A = this chain, B = another copy of it.
Amino acid sequence: MNELHESCGVFGIFGDSKAAEKVYLGLYALQHRGQESAGIASTDGNEIYFHKGLGLVWSVFFDPNVMPRLKGHAAIGHNRYSTKGSGDIVNAQPIVIQCKTGQIAAAHNGTLVNAAVLRKDMEQKGSIFQASTDSEIVLHLIARSQKTTMIEMIMDSLNQLEGAYSFVFLTPDKLIAARDPHGFRPLNLGMLGDVPVIASESCAFDIIGAEYIRSIEPGEVVEVSDSGISSYWLPAASRKSYCIFEHVYFSRPDSIIFGEKVDKVRRNLGKQLAREAPVDADIVIAVPDSANTAALGFSRESGIRYEIGLIRNHYVGRTFIAPHQNKRKLDIKVKINPVTGVIKNKRIVLVDDSIVRGNTLRQIVRLLRSAGAQEVHVRISSAPVKFPCYYGIDISSQEELIGANKSVEEIRKRIDADTLAYLSVEGMLNSVENKGLYGSACFTGEYPTDVPQQFDKFEFCSGKES
C-alpha cells in the first residue's frame, strides 16, 4: 500500500541539450516518492525558467506550451509528497528565488530538525516565509551568507542545518547536489554518457538510459559546472543515519539507494521475518505492491508457498474521488480484492511492510476471512516505530505511532489477526549490508541530532492555502 508512504523525489542534470525532458522522465520514474506537486527549473546559462503545479508529473506538464519554455542545458526537478491540505501550490518545488548573487533554484527531500529555530531566528532578522517547506530556509541562509562564491555560500548555509536533506540546487551556471552528514535520505550520481545526473533513486537513471555510478556520500556536496564535477565536504557526523524505511517501503525495488539494491534488502527483510516469526501456514501473500518482495523473501525462507492472494486496482490511486460519495466510506474493496480460490480454507501469512493506523490492515484481514481464510497471520517487515521521526517522514499525527502506543497484542486485536509479529530492529539492520550506517532513532529514541523541543510541522506554515 505504497501510497501512504511517500517522501519526496529530486532529480538534476547538467550538460544535456534536452535537460528539462530528462528531468521530466526522471520525475516520472520517481513519481512514487511524491504525488502532490511536481516542478522543473531549467537554465540556459542566463536565466532560470521554471514551471510547477499540483498533481502528477504528466498532468503538471501536459500543456504543450510548457516544456518548450524550460530551455537550457541544465535542470532540476522535484516531486512533492501529499499532505492533508491539498492545493498547496506555494509549497511546490523547486523554489526559485532572486538574491544578491542572482537566481537560485532549490529542490529538497528531507526535514530539518532546526527548521523552527532557524526560521524564528531569520524571522527575527526580518526574513519572510511564503511556504511551509524547509527549503525556503536554506535559501534564506544562502542569501544572508557573507561568503562570496556560490559553493561557499551553500556550504556555509548547509553547515547551519540540522536534520535530513538531500538537495539539488541550480544556478545559471551550476548544478549543486548535497546530502546531509548523517545521510538520512538517498542521493545518487549517474552518468548519461559524460553528462552527470543526480537522482534520489537509481530507477530515475534507468528511465533515461543513464548509468548508476555511486551514492553521493553523507556530507558530500557535488558541484557540477562547465568545468566538470567537484566534491566538497561538510564536517562529518559522528555516526550515519541512513533511513532504513527507504528500503522498507519508500523506494522502488528496482532502485539502488545507499549503495544497496532495494530489492535485495527487502527480500532479506522478508527472510529475516520468517526466521524471527515463523508460523505454520499454507501460503504467504503480500499486501500489494510494496510488500511483494518481502513476502517473496518470507516464502523463500520459510518454504511456505508464495501466492498472489490480493489484487490491487491500479486505476484507483490519488486521483480517485467518488464525486457522489463520501470518500471516507469507500472502503478497501475499491482498491483491493481477494482471490477467493487462493484464500479459501487456507492458513495465511499476510506480509505487509508496516502498520500505520491499522484501519486498512483490519479491513484486509476481514476481507481475507470473508473469502474463507482459515487463519490470518500478519507479519510486518519492519519494526514498530516507537519514536517520532524528525527527518522526513510525515508523522504529523501521532496515529502512525501505533507501535509506540499499543502493545503488539493490542494491535493484533485491533486488526483481528490470529497472530501478529513485527520484525525486530536487529533483524531489520541485519538485512542491510552496512548496518552501521543506518539510523535507529525511531526505534530507540536515541536521535543522532538535537531534536525540536516542540515539533509541530504546522507551526511553520506561512499560510494554509485552501
Contact = CB atoms under 8 A, between A and B. Distances in A.
Contacts of A315: 28, 31-32, 56-58, 317
Interface residues of A, number: 104
B308 A253 contact: yes
26 contacts: A24-B322, A28-B313, A28-B334, A31-B315, A41-B463, A57-B315, A61-B324, A62-B323, A63-B323, A66-B466, A67-B324, A69-B87, A97-B462, A98-B123, A98-B129, A98-B461, A99-B128, A99-B129, A105-B463, A125-B144, A126-B140, A128-B136, A207-B333, A253-B311, A254-B338, A292-B308
Contacts of A96: 90, 130, 462-463, 465
Nearest to A319: B58
A315 to B, nearest CB: 4
A89 interface: yes
Interface in A56-97: 56-59, 61-70, 87, 89-90, 95-97
Given A21-B325, A466-B50, A99 B87 contact: no
Given A51-B465, A313-B28, A464-B47, A253 B324 contact: no
Given A28-B334, A67-B323, A103-B463, 11 more contacts: A21-B324, A47-B464, A48-B463, A49-B466, A50-B463, A52-B465, A65-B87, A97-B462, A98-B128, A100-B126, A254-B311
Contacts of A323: 61-64, 66-67
B51 A466 contact: yes
Given A252-B311, A261-B340, A339-B253, A333 B50 contact: no
Best-surrounded residue of A25, A144, A254, A289 (most CB of chain B within 10 A): A254
Closest 8 CB pairs of A and B: A69-B466, A98-B462, A126-B144, A67-B324, A96-B463, A261-B341, A100-B123, A97-B128
Contacts of A59: 319
Given A49-B463, A209-B333, A339-B254, A124 B98 contact: no
A401 interface: no
A194 B339 CA distance: 24
A342 interface: yes
Interface in A287-323: 289, 292-293, 296, 300, 305-308, 311, 313-317, 319-323
Copies of the polypeptide in the assembly = 4
A282 B128 CA distance: 58
Contacts of A95: 130
A31 B313 contact: yes
A159 interface: no
Contact of A203 (B65, B254, B337): B337
A127 interface: yes
Contacts of A28: 313, 315-316, 334
B66 A87 contact: yes
B317 A463 contact: no
Q: A interface, by DSSP: helix, strand, loop or mixed?
A: mixed
A142 B90 CA distance: 20
A201 to B, nearest CB: 11
Interface string A260-278: 0101100000000000000
A15 to B, nearest CB: 19
Contacts of A69: 87, 466
A29 interface: yes
A206 interface: yes
B126 A143 contact: yes
Nearest to A105: B463
A187 to B, nearest CB: 19
Contacts of A63: 323
A198 interface: no
A429 interface: no
B313 A296 contact: no
B144 A64 contact: no
Contacts of A308: 253, 263, 292-293, 296
Given A67-B324, A308-B296, A50 B97 contact: no
